[in-house]
Amino acid sequence: MTWMIASTGAEYHLAGPTAVAPCGRPVHIRDVAHHLAVINQFNGATVRPYSVAEHSLLCCDIAHRAGASVFVQMAALMDDAHEAYTNDLISPAKRAVNAYSMTLGVAAWTAFEAEHAHNVREHFKLLTIFAGHKQLLRTIDMQALATARRDLTAYDQARHLPWPALGDDSANPIAPVNWIQLNTQEREEATWKDWREQFRNRFLELQAKRAVATARFIARTPKTAP
């Protein structure tokens, strides 16, 4: 069995012949929002449940405060949207799976995740934005990671090994953002349903803004003679 039943009842095929059929991998924002709201980051090793949906909203907030376009904000929100179907595997586990599979010459997890990320991003018409802003989106994701590590994990610089992803052992480590705290009572009391609705509402808000921005761009583009 290489398929799953999504929250809406859709049948999403992770592999196999049906996966390449036009209807084999249906993507819907309701499924994405629902699944990400109940999947915890850090393998659950946080002082409270911290979902992929909450992380994604933080990434979107970081992009917004940095003055990024609505297109980049949408990409930041949807950076991990494929995890609605692949689940969220912590980075050390991804490296472990890749290390096992590299004996056969294939980084299995990276290939598997990339395939589904492409499918989801193509569905939401985000491939160009991801391709053009890869480093910016990576930096935003790492800032969110650093912030969550600071506020929600048992990480202690004096006790624990450095995290290469955050550049802990470099001259310029990734710093957490200083305008938010993730360990507040308000966030503690928010339910997974709250994060689901916040994620979906932010998506719909950005989708509307993206449509307006696209229409304005088209209107400003000089029309060539037939």
Percent with pLDDT over 70 in the chain: 98
DSSP state of 3: E
Domain around 57? 28-220
For CA atoms 147, 203, 78, 220, the dihedral sign is negative
User: Is 79 within the bounds of a domain?
Assistant: yes
The pLDDT > 90 percentage for the chain reads 78
Q: Do the beta carbons of residue 196 and residue 41 sit within 8 Å?
A: no
For 139, phi then psi, to 5°, come to -65, -45
* Position 205 in a domain: yes
Give the CATH number, domain containing residue 47: 1.10.3210.10
Q: For residue 9, is it within any domain?
A: no
The answer to whether residues 166 and 34 touch, using CB atoms and an 8 Å cutoff, is no
Tell me how many domains the chain contains. Answer: 1
Please report which confidence band the pLDDT of residue 132 belongs to, taking 50, 70 and 90 as the band edges. Answer: very high
For the stretch 81-108, pLDDT in tens is: 999 999 988 788 888 888 877 766 778 8
- Tell me, yes or no, whether 226 lies in a domain: no
Domain assignment present for 6: no
Q: Crossing angle for the helix pair 108-123 and 91-101, nearest 10 degrees?
A: 120
What's the rounded Cα separation, in Å, for the pair 90 and 111?
Answer: 16
Tell whether pTM > 0.85: yes
Query: Higher confidence at residue 209 or residue 19?
Result: 209
In a domain, 14, yes or no: no
